[in-house]
Chain A
Amino acid sequence: MLNHTVPLARDVVEPPANSAGGGLRLGRLNLEVRQHISPGYQALILACAVFVGLGLSAALLIAAGVKPAALFDEFVVESFTDSESLHSILFQAAPLIFVGVGAALAFRVRFWNLGIEGQMIWGGIAATTIPFYEIGPPAARLPLMMVFAAIAGMGWVMVPAWLRLRWRVNEIITTLLLNYVALNFLLHLLYGPWLDPKDNFPHSPQFKAFERLPEIGWGLSSALVLALVFTALSGWLVLSTRFGFYTKFVHDNDRMALAVGVPVRTVTLISVLLSGALAALAGFVIATAQEGRLTQSYFEGYGFSGILIAFLARNNPIAAMVVAILVAMLFVSGRSLQVFYQIPFAMVQLIQAIIVISVAASEFLMRHRVHWVR
């Protein structure tokens, strides 16, 4: 236990304490590095941070012209009572679960996969090649599309992963810049060879019925089932296998892991490839369950949402699923705000960023103990 306290000289605005006696004695801030924190207290700080973030977001929405009473109604009451909006939340949750779990898998091995959107684009493109070129019999189309999407996502993330593992090229920038490359390629396809001949709009021709993910009843899409299956598989892989233990080892101290014989490179590579595959499946799910074709902006905003979900879920796939459903709630409410209050959808992105900032800031309180000394 580190118990000595050192004054935060120059760090925080510090009143001239103990100087010259008399005068104003306000005291000063003392800062202590925590060695341990109880899970309960940690959860409390986290909850407070999320609450502060939501409070700030609510203030922002009210400033943008939403009535306070309507705010509660729109975000909370509607989401749980209205079966239609509950359906759309679960519908929206499927791709978010994929990107969230995908991001978590990469972050677990300290690989900043910011290329989720690029991998989603490639997932969508690869899935669309099957119906576009009519590959395989009707019954095999959907599985083929899924496999193609996953392979494409892995291939796209392979480039930055390999550059990082081979030459230590910073993956934050390479994954991000590859998004722009993927986007330009998508636009090339949609404005060129894949332009829908029926209406000359920049999207691919409509998929046929057997190329779309079916509903499974109660208005739920099989996309959600797929998402849950992959979450369960990832959860099992990460939380109860030797591989999962290795990822934890690599995350905490990769040099130590290497020294005791953990195959650090292989573990990193596999985890990152799975991350790319899951991100690509998010693109596949949107194309086949939601849009029914390849469009030019289906991936927008999912990259950051994936990061946010993994960050809030502490890179735990099962927790990521829960957070993804909450983010889906935000997405659906954001769309209805767009319709009823003309508030741009960028508001949803802003709210997510505010929540990340307040949660990240709260880690200060988890790592340090601050107290006021008179």
Chain B
Amino acid sequence: MLHFFVNWLAGTPSFAAPYALAALGLIVSERAGVLSLGAEGFMLVGALAGVATELQLGGYPAVALLVAMLAAAGVSLLFAFLVVFLRVNQVIAGLAIVFFCHGLTSLMGTLGGWTNRAITGLHEIAIWPLSEIPIIGRIFFTQDLVVFLTIPIFFLVNYVLTRSMLGLRLRSVGENPGAADAAGVSVSLYRLGAVVVGSSLIGLAGGYLTVVDVKLWVPDISGGRGWIAIALVIFARWQPWRALFGALLFGCIEALIPRIAAAGIQFPQYFLLMTPYLVTIAVMVWAALTKFGRSNEPAALGQPHVREERR
């Protein structure tokens, strides 16, 4: 029984990391007022870019993750151009970007011959001597590089968002772009920057899925994780630490699925595979039910800023 729990908890961070990184990226862009519905698409782009880089270079998983970030940031420029400069409806633009990335990645995966080819990927690091501590060593100190990096990334982003001038301006753009504009903050520039930085984090989450977790590319590998991350951000009320907590919760649930099968418990597997989606919906209902007072939702989320338009 102890063995079961240790394996389950030790597996949790690697399932939680993509959710945490994607949710953090979404928070960055949504705090600036851009509803990044394209998350699923950016994840797919990051996932394919990671595998493609590793296959082309024959290794270097860290470089692959970096390329995953850059690729997602690159595609997000198109999205940012649509919603920030052309003021396209953010829902339409986000959906179009998801399907654009969906089509693009399955096409390029096939044309480039990257589909269904195993890669070596990133391995776990055991921090000796801490990793020798029974139970705790296995759970906390035997993880991969990205999991270890996720915590400092969270500290950094949280600090920048809440304690720096940059973060104050970014949030002001998401709360009241008109006032921010009047105060001399460039709404377009901040939104563009937030989308690109946020998407690169989402791309890292996608790259993590293929380079670290599955070590393989198949079309639609993200399987709705981008959408779950969007729900997670609503659940977290746009606060990074709550998002990390939510990601751990989802990581726990997802890590349990292979454990149940491995422990030989008979349960129809397809019903098990439904659970993350059902839990997400439950969590969204819970978030909606407990929304008393201020919800922290950026007031101008999803609203284009047109200086010339009188409201």
Contact = CB atoms under 8 A, between A and B. Distances in A.
A311 B93 CA distance: 12
B116 interface: no
A309 B224 CA distance: 23
B284 A169 contact: yes
Nearest to A6: B308
B123 interface: no
Interface in B266-311: 268, 270-271, 273-274, 277-278, 280-281, 284-285, 288-289, 306-310
A199 interface: no
A367 to B, nearest CB: 7
A361 B268 contact: no
A333 to B, nearest CB: 15
B104 A350 contact: yes
Contacts of B82: 357, 360-361
A84 B219 CA distance: 32
A37 interface: no
B100 A353 contact: yes
Contacts of B104: 346, 350
A45 to B, nearest CB: 13
A55 B301 CA distance: 34
A374 interface: no
B270 A352 contact: no
Given A173-B231, A349-B103, A360-B82, A33 B309 contact: yes
Nearest to B92: A360
A64 B87 contact: no
Interface stretch (A68-76, A180-188, A244-252, A262-270): A180-188
B291 to A, nearest CB: 8
Interface in A174-221: 174, 176-181, 184-185, 187-188, 191-192
Interface in A50-79: 64
A58 to B, nearest CB: 15
Q: How large, as a class, is the contact surface on chain B?
A: 35 or more
User: Chain A interface: which size bin?
Assistant: 35 or more
B285 A185 contact: no
Nearest to A352: B99
Contacts of A32: 308
A11 interface: yes
Given A177-B281, A178-B277, A364 B87 contact: yes
A357 B96 contact: yes
Contact of A163 (B88, B270, B285, B309): B285
Contacts of A364: 86-88
A64 B227 contact: no
Interface string A156-181: 00000001000111101110111111
Contacts of A343: 107
B107 A180 contact: no
A237 interface: no
A305 to B, nearest CB: 10
Interface string B182-206: 0000101100000000000000000
B96 A353 contact: yes
A311 B99 CA distance: 14
Given A10-B186, A177-B224, A346-B102, A168 B288 contact: yes
Nearest to B89: A360
Interface string B215-228: 00001000110011
A172 B227 CA distance: 9
B96 A346 contact: no
Interface in B90-125: 91-93, 95-97, 99-100, 102-104, 106-107, 110-111
B99 A367 contact: no
Contacts of A226: none
A178 B281 contact: yes
Interface of B: 37, 78, 82, 85-89, 91-93, 95-97, 99-100, 102-104, 106-107, 110-111, 186, 188-189, 219, 223-224, 227-228, 230-231, 234, 268, 270-271, 273-274, 277-278, 280-281, 284-285, 288-289, 306-310
Given A170-B234, A357-B100, 10 more contacts: A112-B91, A168-B288, A173-B284, A177-B228, A343-B107, A350-B104, A353-B100, A356-B99, A360-B88, A367-B87
Interface of A: 2, 5-6, 8, 10-12, 31-33, 64, 112, 114, 163, 167-170, 172-174, 176-181, 184-185, 187-188, 191-192, 304, 307, 311, 343-344, 346-354, 356-357, 360-361, 363-364, 367-368
* A-B residue pairs, 3 tightest by C-beta: A350-B103, A349-B103, A188-B270
